[in-house]
Amino acid sequence: MSHNLNIDKLDLQIISEMMSNAEISYADLGKKLFVSGGTIHVRMKKLQELGIVKGTRLHVDLKMIGYDVIAFIGIFLEKAHFTTPWLKNCAKCRRSSG
């Protein structure tokens, strides 16, 4: 299977090490595997593009940093020129578009 995906021994070593310690820096992993941190970065990018590595996640306990409630509020204004005055009156608004 690894032959079809074009991965080699180094890729498998990177996967193994990252599965053991996902917090290791690319520089430290590179030292451990006798390659540069840049090589690790390029290989990880390749493994992500191949779909072998599904990405990284950061889980933050928002309550621990003071966020008790998360709300997504949609406001539809009749005219675009109403946006600026409305935002000036909104004390803690984060603007999001998309």
In this prediction, residue 20 has a pLDDT band, given cuts at 50, 70 and 90, of: very high
Q: Token pair of 85, please?
A: 């005055």
> Token pair of 84, please?
């600026």
Q: What is the pTM of this model?
A: 0.59
Give, in order, the Cα–Cα distances in Å from 20 to each of 15, 64, 80, 81, 82. Answer: 9, 27, 52, 54, 53
Tens digits of residue pLDDT in 40-74: 999 999 999 999 999 788 888 888 998 887 677 77
pLDDT of residue 42: 96
